[in-house]
Structure 1
Amino acid sequence: MKIKWILLCFAALPAGAQDDHRDSFSRIKDHTIKRELASFVATAELEGDVKPLKVRNGPSVNCKKGALLQLDSFQVQIGHRKFDPTKHQITRKDNLVQTIDGEHVWGRDGDLPMFHVSGLVVKNGDQAVRIPASALEALYEPNFCSAAIYSSGDGKRMYVYMMNGDGAGGYEVAWIFVNRKYFGRMVDYGF
């Protein structure tokens, strides 16, 4: 019965989504990170072999125009900009947006996005944490009120999490930090 549910969810994904799951929860190889993500991401409900761990949650501040999060000395600021279609290569099929700049469109289901995640500034105390441009790639329609920081019990792993999208194009993203350095991201449909 569980296999049928997974197949039905997969078949119901927006156009092009089946082709672009390189950052999905199911592809995470590190068992510890996968278990910790499973304690708060909706996608994990589809994975029966993962048992959740307890994590700490940092408060979100100023969720109208961006997110400012802090957990101990770990500070995160997330920003957005209005999407300008003239600065991007947009691929359509049957008048529906399939890709932007060759990437799957997270956050919209066939329409052009209104906003994109444009900044992720992370500080560990006074030190800036380097974030590659690929960490923000193809993330649209941010919902800053959902932003939170989660931490492993030992504090070695931090997760900056958001649920974003316009409804039908809803997705979740978790930026993963190990020893306070950027490790990667998880982006997936799940709610």
Structure 2
Amino acid sequence: MKNLMIMLILFLLTVGAKAQVGIIQDDDGYTNVREKPNGQSSIIHKLYNNEAFWFDYEEGIDINEWIPICIPKNSFSFSSTQPDCISGFIHKSKLKPLDKLQTFKGADFKFEYVIEPFKLNNRIVDRYNNAVVAISGRPVWGTDGDFPKTQVKSVNASVKGKKIEIHRALYSDIYECTNTFKVYKNGDSFIVYQWNSDGAGAYQIVWVFSKDELKQRLVGTRI
């Protein structure tokens, strides 16, 4: 038990630092998340098709074919730049790393940031040791303590010509974005994945869309 707790703590401390992004692969459409790395352990959560989460597989954390994962507590990463997730285990056979999906090259899905120079516009800034850590109470993704150079003015997304509304709150904390990203299609879902940064404050962002709406935004960092 002691070794198990140490492993989970280490994983949580490094999630966002080393974690990769995955989804599940299960014919039932969902996978049980276990408290411990065995099939008899308590079920603490269920993951459904095309829900993105963090995992650390390539670093060798693999006990009895069970993979430690970190599941965001909300669907849109609204908390902070620190991990805000629940930890558990899924069986190795149920894991599908995002980068193992086939990239989508079709015209049915469109995604684009409208980017503009950063403007503070009298917004409140929180600092820690002179570093900018929050603007308007939101984390500053994409910098390493400096003010951003660019910000997102809006996000345009559509599926088969139908516009998908994306609220300003979902892009007001991400900075230094570019329109260089990968798009994956899994079932009826489209998944946008990219890295953004000012050169030092690199972060990953994942957008998951159904044919009708934005389902998830996952944001985190990795060394």
Normalised to the residue count of structure 2, the TM-score between the two structures is 0.60
Checking the alignment, whether the CA contact within 8 Å between 2:152 and 2:177 is kept in structure 1 is yes
Structure 1 160/136 Cα, relative in aligned 2: closer, same or farther at 3 Å?
Answer: same
The 3-state SS of whatever aligns with 1:79 is strand
SS of 1:150's partner is strand
Provide Cα deviations, 1:26-62, integer angstroms capped at 9, x if missing partner: xx9633224xx46xxxx53366336116523135xxx
What is the count of residue pairs matched by the alignment?
159
* 2:203 corresponds to 1:171: yes
- Distance in 2 of aligned mates of 1:113 and 1:178: 31
CA RMSD of aligned residues (A): 3.1
**Rounded Cα–Cα distance in structure 1 between residues aligned with 2:130 and 2:185:** 42
Would you say 1:79 and 2:79 are equivalent positions?
no
What amino acid sits opposite 1:52 in the alignment? Answer: K
Change (3 A) 1:144 1:5: farther
User: Partner letter of residue 184 of structure 1?
Assistant: Q
Q: 1:136 deviation in Å?
A: 0.9
1:62-110 per-residue CA deviation (whole Å, 9 max, x = no partner) reads xxxxxxxxx3411112221111123422111221112111011111121
| Paired AA for residue 6 in structure 1 | F
Q: Following TM superposition, by how much is the alpha carbon of 1:5 offset from its aligned partner in structure 2, in angstroms?
A: 4.3
Structure 1, unpaired ranges of 5+: 13-23, 60-70
Determine which structure has more spread, i.e. the larger CA radius of gyration.
2
Match of 1:68 in 2: none
Q: State the distance in 1 between where 2:102 and 2:149 align.
A: 32
Structure with greater proportional strand content: 2
Q: Which residue in 2 is equivalent to 1:120?
A: 155
Q: Comparing both structures, which one devotes a greater share of its residues to helix? A: 1
1:144 alignment partner AA: N
CA distance in 2, matches of 1:176, 1:143: 18
**CA shift digits 1:5-31 (9 cap, x unpaired):** 42553697xxxxxxxxxxx98xx9633
Deviations 1:148-168 (A, max 9, x none): 21110x2x1111222111243
Instruction: Spell out, residue by residue over 1:116-172, the C-alpha distance to the aligned partner (whole angstroms, 9 max, x if none).
Output: 122211122232111122221300111433x121110x2x11112221112432111
Q: Where does the alignment leave 5 or more consecutive residues of structure 2 unmatched?
A: 1-5, 23-44, 58-66, 69-89
Give the letter aligned to residue 96 of structure 2: P
**Residue 63 (structure 1) aligns with:** none
Q: Following superposition of structure 1 onto structure 2, how do residues 102-181 of structure 1 map, counting pairs within 5 Å?
A: 102-145=137-180, 147-152=181-186, 154=187, 156-181=188-213
Check 1:138–1:44 CA distance in 2 against 1; reply closer, same or farther (3 A cut). Answer: same
**Alpha carbons 2:16, 2:221 under 8 Å: kept:** no
Partners of 2:158 and 2:140 in 1: CA distance: 28
| Counterparts in 2 of 1:158 and 1:7: CA distance versus 1, 3 Å | closer
Task: Letter of the 1:176 partner, please give it.
Answer: V
Once the two structures are overlaid, the 10-residue window that deviates more, 165-174 or 97-106, is 165-174
> In the superposition, relative to structure 1, how do residues 8 and 109 fare at CA in structure 2: closer, same or farther (>3 Å)?
same
Q: Tell me the equivalent position of 2:102.
A: 56
| Pairing 1:10-49 to 2, within 5 Å after superposition | 30-34=47-51, 37=52, 43-45=54-56, 48=68, 49=90
**Fraction of identical pairs, as percent:** 23
The higher-RCO structure (CA 8 Å, 6+ apart) is: 1
CA distance in 2 between counterparts of 1:78 and 1:11 reads: 23
